Each structure stands twice: as structure tokens, then as C-alpha cells.
Structure 1
Amino acid sequence: MTGTSSPAPSQRHYGMDWLRIGAFALLILYHIAMVFVPWDFHVKSTHQARWVVLPMLATNAWRLTLLFLVSGYASRFLLARSPGPGAFVAQRSVRLLLPLLFGIVVIVPPQTWVELVTKHGYASSLPDFWLRDYFSFDHLAGVALPSWNHLWFVAYLWVYTAILTLATMLVRMPAAQRWFDRVFGGWPVLVLPVVWLVCVHGWWYLMGVESHRLFADPVGHLTFLPAFLFGFGLARSRPAMAAIERLWAPAAVVAIAAYLTILSIEMLHSPANPTPRWMFRPYGIAHALEQWCAIVALIGLAERWGRRDHPLRATLTEAVFPFYLIHQTIIVVAMAALLPANLPGWAEFTVLLVATVAGCALFYLCGRAIPWLRPLIGLRPAPPSRPREPQPAII
């Protein structure tokens, strides 16, 4: 990429690395909390607490969109290091599709089995389920088999990567980057995405939610794909990043106000007193405002306060994807194992948190140490070890 608006390819924004790490850590906490709220999940604690919904709503609007944005941002640097678009999509296919297949075959089945056992009275053991029912390509008690569950994100990311690769082959990238810099180098970086998201959530798909089904998810694709492409453009745009740094404070104010609006609507209504239809549009508009303004505020804060490197950053950045692959299976299996103990809610949460972090770390460290497992958990092949130089003889 040429032009004064583009940083050198070697320039690294550590703030975006820290933001990516934090976003995935938040996702793990969110999925632990899913055990304790009335919303549907693969396994539920007996300690349901409606108040837990309130802090979760603070992240509902933007957490997934942010993950796709930072993934698009990282893709720009991966593409710059690749010999060309073909090599880039081939490398990304290995890094995404192999873990996705491994996850569907090995990681996800315990989640589905626990759901069938705890919710539908399924009586067979996990090995029997895996050998007899899981690969039936049918439904069992309304549960689709096999499933990718939380790994839908990986499938979407590969599809968006393929779209991006095709776009880079068809579009003159320097001209496209200059257009991006001009459009998003000021207030439009805050306003234009909000207008788009208001259309999605406030008009086109009123109170619609993502289905996480690749061919039947208009709300998801209209939200996540633009965020992914925006992150790709942002990675080489000084004007857009500078505008975000200037606007993070007003964006944070708007995001908080939008969250409080959503919170008030949620607190005024309950399953016994559902939200009236006339409030759907204000809710959708508030959702859109919080969705983008929170992301702008977080990127601005990360760029302002997260520019310093740390010895743990590289390790955490590498560990993020293996943690993501395994975390939900650990949560679901651990919660199922805790059910007979009937522990207090706070004890269940503590055990789940410790078990999830420890299990994710063990999965990452073991997978990193075993060469043939590395590509299955999304890691690059281990670099070849350097031969030891002969030591001079001591006379």
C-alpha cells in the first residue's frame, strides 16, 4: 500500500492486540454467565439469577462485532506478509478449516451430549453417542447433529476471508484505501456505521437476532461482514485511527446512554410482561448506537493506553484461538459435573471460572508442545530447531 495515509507494513498497534485478547477473555466470561441466566444454553445451573442479565446486556450489542473487526484488522497484516492473495487464502484455510473440522468432530460432541442428557433425558454414554448418533446428519430431540455450536465464528471468518481475498483481486487497493481514508477520516467514522446499523436493527430486521446459520443469517452477515472489512481498512489508515482516537470520549457517552436505554426497557418488562411492539424500534436504534459507539470508544482507549508491549502479549495473542476453541466445551462439561453437588451459585461460578481458565491453558500448552496437534488448534507449525553449534574444546 502506498500513500502518506498508510503506516509502514511493519508498524504494529499493540493496542489492537490487547483489545483482541480482552474481547476473547470477555467472551469466555460471557459464556460462563450464560449458565446462570434465563436465556437458552446447552446446560443450566439451578441458580438462575435475572440480575446477571443486566451486566451481560452491556456487551450484547458489540462483543461479536468487535471480534470480527479485530479479525479483519489482523487479516491486513497477514495478507501483507503473504506472497499473494492465493497464498493468503490458502494459509487462512489451513489455519481456520482444520480447527473447525477438528472442533466439529472432537471438541463439540461433549457439549451436544450434555445438552441431550440434561435437557432431554438422553441415556446413552458419550462414546456411544459419538459413535452412533452424532454423525447421523439428522435431529435428535430437536438438536441438529452434527453441530458446530460456538465454532460458527470460525466458519463465518473463513467465508469473510474468502470474500476479502476476492475483493483484493478485483479492486485497486491503493485507490480503495485512499477512499477509506477520506470517508472515515473524521466524524463519518462514527456516524456512517451507526446509520447502517440503525437500518439493520431499527428498520430492516426489527428486533432480529443472529441465527449463526451460515445460509440463514441476514442480521449476522449485514453486521459482521462490514465490521470485518472495516477492520481490514482501518489497519492501514492513519486518518481513520486518528479520528477514532479523537472521538472515543463522545462515542463512550453515547454508548453508555444507549445501554441505559436498553437497560430501562429490559427492567420495565419481563417474560410475564413482554416488551410492547411499539418499543421495538427505539430498542433497535439504541442497540445500534451502543454497538458501534462502544467499539469506537474501545478502539480509541486501546490505541491511547495500550501501545506498550509486554512479554506476555505474544503468548496471549497466540493462545487466544485455542482458548476460544475449547472454552465452551469445558464450561458445559464442568457445569454438568457440578449439578449433582448442588453448590451455591457463587461456588459454581468460581469453580467454572477456575476450571475454564485452567483447562484452556492446559489445552493450549499441550497442543503447542505436540507438533501434529498445532494445526488442529489453529497454531502455526513449530519453527525448526536450530542445530547446536559445536562447543570449542577446553584444553
Structure 2
Amino acid sequence: METKIRRYDLDWIRVIVFGLLIFFHIGMFFNSWGWHIKNNVIYDWLYLPMGFLSQWRLTALFLISGMGTYFALSYRSGKVFARERLIRLGIPFLFGTLVLIAPQVYVERLVEGQFTGSYFEFYPIEFFKGIYPTGNFSWHHLWFLPYLLTYTLLLAPLFLYFRRHPENRFLNWCRKQIRKKYGLFLFIIPLYFPEAFIEPFFNVTHAYYGDWFAHAHYGIIFFYGFLFMLLREDFWAALDRLKQPALIIGLVTFSLLAGVFWQIEDGVIVHFTEAAVKVTNCFMWLVVIFGYGAKYLNRPSPLLAYCNRAVYPFYIFHQTLIIIFAYFLIEKEWSLGVKFTILTVATFFSCWGLYELVRRFKLGRILFGIKEKKAVETVPEPKVQLDPQLT
């Protein structure tokens, strides 16, 4: 039986962040930001909690994905790894796009008065006419999968080189920096340049082509995930000593964003200053999340084992279900609390029921990327013994 090290804290964080994604997309129905369909009453104050989540939630997912790539490559060849990623990311993406996204676009067109027929009149004829948003064909929330697959395949040769040459000059330099008291914060600097010089010209679209700021930011973060796992003990030690100051800095920088920069007109000086505050705020919350996660969450449980297999199908299903349920609530004169609760409960239990259905069939497990249970023994990675001189 194969034995491998597992970071249960990373599994917990992945499950929690994907769970927050469901709440975030439900919130998009009610807040003032553009989304596929909107409630009859908009709540402007939601920009604050949702703005906080938007600063780090997707970045955290790409960081976890890079970390997961390290563990996957540690016991697979490059060819086996690439084939496994193509299957596990590509098949759910293609199936989800062709089958599960059309209901979202259909409901949106009904709400906007751009289509009046039945769903079976809309699909497959209308759905494949043109590219969203001017047309109908889209991948909507599944954009994460082709982006992740691209970064995985493009960076795999570099990752394999690092695996074969763990003492190369670049990695030794990174180890040297991260061992310094605040050395981990140096990794903020590469994130600043896309934020300052690319973001003003290329808004995030999730359309893949031309989405240069998103590719630069998420690509760097995905690379960081793999890199930090190469630095293992030094990285966990850095998180441990910096998680408390990072919490303070995170609170201060988010307060500056929400209380100052989101309230004033943009300009050259404002933009470059805001970019520095924004990437610092994002990185600080990553340090907080992964630092406290390493301290409190690195332990297995039956609940984690169940959620870890379910989280991917939940992600694939959730937005389609939210939009379908929300369609029947748009004109109801009910409070935010009532509608939010209904959407949360209905979405969660529907995702759960669908997961329980598809996981029982091999085809369902393939289509939704559910890993087969294998006789692989996993043990939690031992806690790092910190050097007193670094604490």
C-alpha cells in the first residue's frame, strides 16, 4: 500500500473557500454589482462583506491548486500527471459547459425579455448562437477550470525541473529570503506589477482571450503555491511567525481600501497607491488563512473526507441551481434574510442530492471529476519544529 504525506489543512481550506463561493454567488443576486440576474431590491451595503471576500477568495483557490499540484507531481510522472489533469479538469469542464451552463443563460434571457420560448426551444439551437454576452454560448462560472488547466500544463515542465533539481540557485535564493523575519512579504512585489500596469488596461472578463491581468495574477499565485510547497518547512515556519502581524496589516489595508480608495475618484497617484494596498491586503489574508489553518486544521476527519470528494461537484452544480431558484424569487416582496436563506438551503440540499446521485455511477464520477477511492494510506504532515531564532 502506498503511503504519502497529506496536508489536511489545505483540504479544509479548499472546502471552506469553495463553500464561501456559494454564499458569494448568492450575494451577487442581491448586491449592486453586475451579475446574470438581479433581485427586485438591491442592497448596496453588501459591497463591504463581498468586497472583502473578493480580495482573496479566488487567489486562495489558485494558491491551493498550485500546492495540490506539488503533491500530485510528487508521486506521478509528468505524462501521467498531465493525462490525469486533462481528464479531471477537461471532462467536467466540457460536460458542464455543454449541459449545465445553458439553463443559466436561458433564465437570464427570460428575465431580460430577450427570449420567450421554452427551454427546449432555447437549447440546443439558441444556446450555440454567438459568444456571451452578445451571444449565448458561455462557460460562466466554469472559467476557473480552463484557466487552471492552462497554468498546470504550461508550468509543469518548470515544476518537473524544480523537482529534479531541488537545490538550484533560484530555490536556494527563495529559501534564504523566506527565512528572514519578514522575507515572505517579498513575494508581494511580483503581484504589484500586474495590478499597477496591466489591470488598468485589461479588466477581468473570465473570457480567457485577452484576460491578461487575470492570467498574470492567477498564474503568479498558482506558481507560488507550488513554490511554497518546495520550501515546505521554511514556508510553514514563516506563516507561523507572520500570521498575527498579517492579520493586523490585513485589517488596516482593507480598511484603507473600503474607507478611502473605494470612495475617491481614481487617478495616477491614487491608482499606483491603491495597487500597493490591494496586493498587500490580498497577500496578508492568504498568510492569515493558511497560517491559522496550518495551526488548527491539519487533522483528518470523516467529514473532511466526505466534503473533499463532494466539493468539486458542488462547485460545478451550484451556480446553475442558484440562478434557477433565484428566478422564482425575483419579484417576491420578501426580505433579504428570507430570500438569502431560501437560496442557501435550496442550493445546498440540491447540490448534495445531485452529488449523492452522480457519485454512485462510474460515468457520473468521470463527468464530475470525483476521484475513485483507492487503497492509498495517507498520514498528516508532521508539524514543523520551529527554530527559536526565527520566532
Question: Is the pair's TM-score, using the shorter chain for normalization, greater than 0.5?
Answer: yes
Q: Contact 2:309–2:371 at 8 Å: present in 1 too?
A: no
Describe the shift of the 1:226–1:188 C-alpha distance in structure 2 as closer, same or farther (beyond 3 A): farther
Distance 1:88 1:297 in 2: 31
Q: Give the secondary-structure state (helix, strand or coil) at the position aligned to 2:206.
A: coil
**Is 1:106 aligned with 2:99?**
yes
Distance 2:203 2:244 in 1: 28
Aligned to 1:329: 320
| Runs of 5+ consecutive residues of structure 2 not aligned to the other structure | 376-391
Describe the shift of the 1:45–1:123 C-alpha distance in structure 2 as closer, same or farther (beyond 3 A): same
Aligned to 2:257: 262
Report the residue type matching 1:369 in the other structure: R
Aligned to 2:382: none
Aligned to 2:304: 313
**Is 1:205 aligned with 2:196?**
no
Aligned to 1:249: 244
Q: Contact 2:13–2:293 at 8 Å: present in 1 too?
A: yes
Q: TM-score, normalised by structure 1?
A: 0.87
Report the residue type matching 1:315 in the other structure: Y
For these two proteins, the number of residue pairs brought into alignment is 370
Of 95, 98, 112, 1:119 maps to 112
Distance 2:241 2:337 in 1: 41
1:187 is displaced (CA, Å) by 4.4
Of 286, 304, 327, 2:277 maps to 286
Distance 2:142 2:176 in 1: 36
1:180 is displaced (CA, Å) by 3.9
Report the residue type matching 1:96 in the other structure: L
Describe the shift of the 1:158–1:267 C-alpha distance in structure 2 as closer, same or farther (beyond 3 A): closer
Q: Contact 2:177–2:184 at 8 Å: present in 1 too?
A: no
**Is 1:67 aligned with 2:61?**
yes
**Is 1:143 aligned with 2:114?**
no
Describe the shift of the 1:75–1:163 C-alpha distance in structure 2 as closer, same or farther (beyond 3 A): same
Q: Contact 2:198–2:212 at 8 Å: present in 1 too?
A: no
Distance 1:294 1:146 in 2: 35
Deviates more, 1:373-382 or 1:328-337: 373-382
Report the residue type matching 1:355 in the other structure: A
Report the residue type matching 1:33 in the other structure: G
Q: Contact 2:261–2:274 at 8 Å: present in 1 too?
A: no
**Is 1:174 aligned with 2:166?**
yes
Aligned to 2:17: 23
Distance 1:145 1:173 in 2: 47
1:284 is displaced (CA, Å) by 2.1
Over aligned residue pairs, what C-alpha RMSD do you find?
2.3
Q: Give the secondary-structure state (helix, strand or coil) at the position aligned to 2:246.
A: helix
Of 85, 97, 104, 1:92 maps to 85
Describe the shift of the 1:194–1:168 C-alpha distance in structure 2 as closer, same or farther (beyond 3 A): closer
Q: Contact 1:252–1:293 at 8 Å: present in 2 too?
A: yes
Report the residue type matching 1:60 in the other structure: S
Distance 1:294 1:174 in 2: 28
Distance 1:207 1:49 in 2: 29
Aligned to 1:358: 349
Distance 1:170 1:14 in 2: 26
**Is 1:239 aligned with 2:234?**
yes
Tell me the percent identity.
28
**Is 1:193 aligned with 2:184?**
no
**Is 1:129 aligned with 2:122?**
yes
Distance 2:297 2:323 in 1: 33
Report the residue type matching 1:150 in the other structure: H
Deviates more, 1:375-384 or 1:92-101: 375-384
1:213 is displaced (CA, Å) by 2.1
Q: Give the secondary-structure state (helix, strand or coil) at the position aligned to 1:47.
A: coil
Report the residue type matching 1:233 in the other structure: L
Runs of 4+ in structure 1 deviating by more than 6 angstroms, as ranges, are none
Distance 2:153 2:95 in 1: 20
Report the residue type matching 1:44 in the other structure: K
Q: TM-score, normalised by structure 2?
A: 0.88
Distance 2:46 2:372 in 1: 41
Q: Contact 2:128–2:136 at 8 Å: present in 1 too?
A: yes
Report the residue type matching 1:89 in the other structure: A
